[in-house]
Structure 1
């Protein structure tokens, strides 16, 4: 069976839908499957697709809070809303209700009768027969969870908990039996109990399959980052080859299918894209028992089916309307019937609109409207390969403009690449607005609900970034999303085992902070410096490993009561941590003692790591000048093997060199900023006068004729 899924059908429109809120019932008597979906207005509904139209089985009243989990048990539906879990029959009659005693709204749910797991931001609660058996408190935010059921021993059931601190925790009977380190914050989990395999997706876009043996695990395969987070995954044999494919829904609107064509490594066989993020994905027999379809929900609440059914575009007014099966039979409503239904629906909408306009006109004569109902979401995620941040902004209605304002200096690298976006980078007058260091606006000339903006931060500087979204609605209003950039913003947390190999034989500088402070206090101070530090700490002593995604330097942090030890081969990282910790301790009026152990060889070591990037930018202008001449030679000479390796490389990389040359000045300035900060920190710890040495060093950088040897010489002069 083909897995091309050429036809895209809009099935239904609801309000926004969260992950894990779309499910398919088991195959029914007519060999098709009904759909159940819960939305952010608190409405849960079930429907089937019959003869080309949506036939609703039931629809609950709006609960006023978003549905945060839908689970099916046989033909019954369980859903979590706020602090309550409800169960309804296939006809929508409520037969179960659990008013939990959790102190926050539920963010996720898993059910296996008689067990139920309910998760909040940091706590996972376990219920059996509606009685709480205990809870597990996670040290960092819980993003998702997936139960693993032991058919031989129900008492051995466990839950895999995906957390923001790049770990999957294995929880049994509310105790953590072990953990799996991951490539990023875990956003999606999938368990195959028969094969004892756990699949996880991360916010950075990785998808990994782990083979489980008890609490031990080993990686079976890995799909490298696609630069967009994974919202949901599922296993389904969509092409009928007898093997399950893995279907992935991503935050950028991509729907991907990977098959195992050769061996155990996945190969992508299909990719479809939407103009908004996909929150849920399911596969099954929705429209006809002869075909397998994929159903997705989007952020704005659209339910879209991808199918192999073909729309009959040559239908006459008396012919039927719908989809062609493999025998070329047309299934569905007649064209006349469908037009009639659409006209009735349109008339009903016009009546509703007229009533709303009358009510609005009565109100607007006395009251000024200041609010419109629409949903937005935004994320600010570090791209560890490129060492910049991806700011994604999305709305469930079309956007008119997005404005970015920042308290710190930023480099605007790119937007989504859409030609329908007009970008204005506004020069800030610091005399009039001292709090703003960066302002940029993005105006949409066409209908658009989503934009991705690429920004690079400067380490050592910290503050808030604000994203204002203005929709194409009246009255004109805006929603704001705020993100806090930390001083070591380009550092990424590392797995402990990988980190120990990474830091071997590196010349490390050492910062020691001691005093009468608790572990929680110093832990919160370090959390102000770098992303990836959990909000809570439960051990008596903790160790964190980081690496710079741009400079490839390392950072090791060891914390315990009364002492913090920070080691790094980059003296700038040591300086930044010292500044932040000193300020935090001063604000709390806590006395601390600070000592340093500086390794002089670390300066040259870091310069050797950084200089290849500098050298590439310095040589870029000369290489670009040669491209036209080399292409002329290539046109005149059939064989260019006589060219040197350097000239051949320029020809092969010509397009990339021309693209990089557009940003050369900006990138070289960014690198020079890093070198100047490193030079100043070297002067600081050597206790020298910056006014004496800094002017000549800046002059050297501005000349753009420096070498690694000349820079190293500048660092060794004192």
Structure 2
């Protein structure tokens, strides 16, 4: 059964951070609730709705940007106290607006996430976790990677406080006071935490998490172990999850899962009828919004008796998706065929018209004042407005590409992308902007100039980029919003030498590895900084101990890399010799800059080359087949133009190609220069293998390309074997 919900826009506040909107508990079932929302202007406001009109409960004065909003209260009481965090301070208000707590945490970092459990306050910066009991420092923990969210299990059910941290290194860290009790490994970066069923389930120990690739999972955290209950794996690609809630929006007596995504998608998941224990969830509803969803919660806000999903967006829109049928306010007279509008709808239209007239008059007055100021001969100052930009670049492991997201608080006029290294721009279905390319001069260090012209009222732009490993530099985005006077903001993104590698937890010792060993007078911080320069997803701060270790997997080839380092010594293992070659070149260059003498030794495993070729084989074969189909389609179209009847005599496989022509062309268009990229990897593999032996084989590259043009895996491997003899 499909779920039908209608959207109602309630109000517009300032820019909002994730999880800064909550619904206050209602006094009874199906009774209307008040909304508490805080924004980056530092304003907290609580309001309710009465006959479609906003009734303001209270509103605070502007201040520092609010980063978190949570509801709390003593154990056994209604959680209707409002806690907000701004910079390093936590303030708490009653539901009537009385300030009863102003607490300076004295954290060295601004508060990014917060949770309230009875008299315990849990706050986290980028790397620091602190617990305060009755505003007194109780426990703390320094995390080696960035903390994305914090949540505590229900202490009323578990009889102890158990905090859980969602960390950037694909880990859930379960704490016991100031120590790590469990490290829970995940396949993706956890971005948000929520108690399963809002109360942690029957034992209060079930925790729900959302990931950067749009998946939902539930873990059960016990004192002795952690059990993975279930994870959503339906094969669909989704953007990162910013907020979650549990609410029975379908009215079947079972709590549904409400999810807000970074790309503006609001989804509702229900447990399947076959199994309602959480092992299988199905999507029941989705609503696409043009802005990222920062908060989502289920409740009764607009009209008593009607459930709805209340959500906020990055730019501050607060809207509801209600089960109430909104078309009842407009009907059709069966006798005359004219539209009939209810009295409530008429009043709303009249109020809206008066508001629009008032806003237009205000805009005209401000415009006239601005025009007169520009004509005035007296000295004045022209100020460029600051426009907030929410930007993010993330590595997508499914297609080994980067997704660049730019979200602006006002409409975007255009975005110019410039890169000093070769990159490919990939097609993205949900990107409606018109792209145009400008001629570049690679000799001047300029490999890309592309302009995206956005449609009217576009505040969010997504661009997919594929990089080339071994090439490192900077990608710059010049964002021009649609405002006067014209202004532009620049965002810079570092492209690492091994940009297509991502962190993982397990290292396969059975593969044939090449080993690079470095010894020298470098410190732990220096070698860590060099690794940060080479690889993505490495924390900027060096490890707390005297040794660091990271494991990476290539999103393009599935080859692995292990980095183990300490003061004066570092070891790198990879089953791709090109990865070792890139690391050796970059690390040597960085050591030379610091005038550090390195003792370098390399152990090359010839079997690793053939292992990498076997990993490349399915990708290369699939791309060659796709290119062959496109070439055949061109011939079939030419045949069709000359003799339309000839296509009836074609073989079934050719008829099938013509029927799926659009799909084949779209797939080929999504992967520009993909075949050239694979050829380049094999060529680099060939050159790097001999470079470690001190042999220059660049003159034999044309022979290698001839073998690739008539590709066969056995012939290619024989060519590599012959050249090594």
Does the alignment reach a TM-score above 0.5? yes
Change (3 A) 1:689 1:385: same
Residue 521 (str. 1) matches residue 506 (str. 2): no
Residue 575 (str. 1) matches residue 581 (str. 2): yes
Q: What's 1:47 paired with? A: 47
* 1:175-214 superposed matches below 5 A: 175-192=179-196, 193-195=200-202, 196-214=205-223
SS at match of 1:694: helix
Counterpart Cα distance in 2 of 1:188 and 1:288: 30
Give the conservation status (yes or no) of the 8 Å contact 1:291–1:309. yes
Residue 168 (str. 1) matches residue 167 (str. 2): no
SS at match of 2:530: helix
Residue 414 (str. 1) matches residue 427 (str. 2): yes
SS at match of 1:339: helix
Residue 22 (str. 1) matches residue 21 (str. 2): yes
Shift of 1:291: 1.6
Give the conservation status (yes or no) of the 8 Å contact 2:395–2:402. yes
Give the conservation status (yes or no) of the 8 Å contact 2:427–2:670. no
* 1:256-295 superposed matches below 5 A: 256-261=267-272, 262-263=274-275, 264-295=279-310
Q: Which of residues 398, 403, 408 is equivalent to 1:390?
A: 403
Residue 308 (str. 1) matches residue 323 (str. 2): yes
Q: Which of residues 226, 230, 235 is equivalent to 2:246?
A: 235
Q: What's 2:338 paired with? A: none
Q: What's 1:245 paired with? A: 256
Give the conservation status (yes or no) of the 8 Å contact 2:478–2:490. yes
Counterpart Cα distance in 2 of 1:415 and 1:147: 38
SS at match of 2:156: coil
Q: What's 2:335 paired with? A: none
* 1:218-229 superposed matches below 5 A: 218-224=227-233, 226-229=237-240
Counterpart Cα distance in 2 of 1:688 and 1:255: 57
Change (3 A) 1:28 1:479: farther
Shift of 1:351: 5.2
Change (3 A) 1:413 1:335: closer
Q: Deviations over 1:106-138 (max 9, x none)?
A: 112111231111211111121111122232111
Counterpart Cα distance in 2 of 1:347 and 1:260: 48
- Greater shift in the superposed pair: 232-241 or 195-204: 195-204
Change (3 A) 1:104 1:504: closer
Q: What's 1:325 paired with? A: none
SS at match of 1:334: helix
- Greater shift in the superposed pair: 239-248 or 16-25: 239-248
Shift of 1:495: 1.9
Shift of 1:349: 2.8
Change (3 A) 1:555 1:315: closer
Counterpart Cα distance in 2 of 1:338 and 1:298: 24
Q: What's 1:687 paired with? A: 694
* 1:494-505 superposed matches below 5 A: 494-496=504-506, 499=507, 503-505=508-510
Give the conservation status (yes or no) of the 8 Å contact 1:416–1:451. no
* 1:304-383 superposed matches below 5 A: 304-312=319-327, 315=330, 334-350=344-360, 352-354=362-364, 356-357=366-367, 360-361=370-371, 364=374, 365=376, 366-367=379-380, 369-383=382-396
Residue 119 (str. 1) matches residue 124 (str. 2): yes
Q: Deviations over 1:538-589 (max 9, x none)?
A: 2333332211111121112222332211111100111111122222222222
Q: Deviations over 1:629-665 (max 9, x none)?
A: 999999969xx9x96xx77986896554332344676
- Greater shift in the superposed pair: 353-362 or 29-38: 353-362
Q: Which of residues 423, 437, 441 is equivalent to 1:425?
A: 437
Counterpart Cα distance in 1 of 2:671 and 2:118: 61
SS at match of 1:686: coil
* 1:270-669 superposed matches below 5 A: 270-312=285-327, 315=330, 334-350=344-360, 352-354=362-364, 356-357=366-367, 360-361=370-371, 364=374, 365=376, 366-367=379-380, 369-418=382-431, 420-431=432-443, 434-496=444-506, 499=507, 503-536=508-541, 537-624=543-630, 655-662=662-669, 666-669=673-676
Counterpart Cα distance in 2 of 1:453 and 1:562: 41
Q: Deviations over 1:36-67 (max 9, x none)?
A: 00111111101111111111111111104334
Residue 708 (str. 1) matches residue 713 (str. 2): yes
Change (3 A) 1:360 1:625: closer
Give the conservation status (yes or no) of the 8 Å contact 2:117–2:155. no
Counterpart Cα distance in 2 of 1:187 and 1:554: 25
Counterpart Cα distance in 2 of 1:578 and 1:220: 43
Q: Deviations over 1:572-611 (max 9, x none)?
A: 1111111222222222222221101101111111111112
- Greater shift in the superposed pair: 546-555 or 656-665: 656-665
Q: What's 2:147 paired with? A: 142
Give the conservation status (yes or no) of the 8 Å contact 1:546–1:554. yes
Counterpart Cα distance in 1 of 2:605 and 2:210: 40
Give the conservation status (yes or no) of the 8 Å contact 1:3–1:239. no
SS at match of 1:711: helix
Q: Deviations over 1:466-519 (max 9, x none)?
A: 1221111111111222211111111121123xx3xxx24321111111223333
Counterpart Cα distance in 2 of 1:653 and 1:361: 58
Counterpart Cα distance in 2 of 1:622 and 1:312: 53
Q: What's 1:322 paired with? A: none
- Greater shift in the superposed pair: 524-533 or 380-389: 524-533
> What is the TM-score normalised by the length of structure 1?
0.89
Counterpart Cα distance in 2 of 1:660 and 1:130: 58
SS at match of 1:528: helix
Give the conservation status (yes or no) of the 8 Å contact 2:68–2:86. yes
Q: RMSD across aligned C-alpha pairs, in angstroms?
A: 2.9
Counterpart Cα distance in 2 of 1:424 and 1:435: 20
Change (3 A) 1:215 1:467: farther
Change (3 A) 1:51 1:460: same
- Greater shift in the superposed pair: 176-185 or 270-279: 176-185
Give the conservation status (yes or no) of the 8 Å contact 2:123–2:150. no
Q: What's 2:337 paired with? A: none
Give the conservation status (yes or no) of the 8 Å contact 2:36–2:46. yes
Question: How many residue pairs end up in the alignment?
Answer: 689
Counterpart Cα distance in 1 of 2:69 and 2:674: 45
Name structure 2 gaps, 5 residues minimum.
74-78, 333-340
Give the conservation status (yes or no) of the 8 Å contact 1:492–1:549. yes
Residue 4 (str. 1) matches residue 3 (str. 2): yes
> What is the TM-score normalised by the length of structure 2?
0.89
SS at match of 2:692: helix
Change (3 A) 1:378 1:191: same
Counterpart Cα distance in 1 of 2:121 and 2:597: 48
Change (3 A) 1:663 1:377: closer
Give the conservation status (yes or no) of the 8 Å contact 1:544–1:556. yes
- Greater shift in the superposed pair: 93-102 or 211-220: 211-220
Shift of 1:410: 0.3
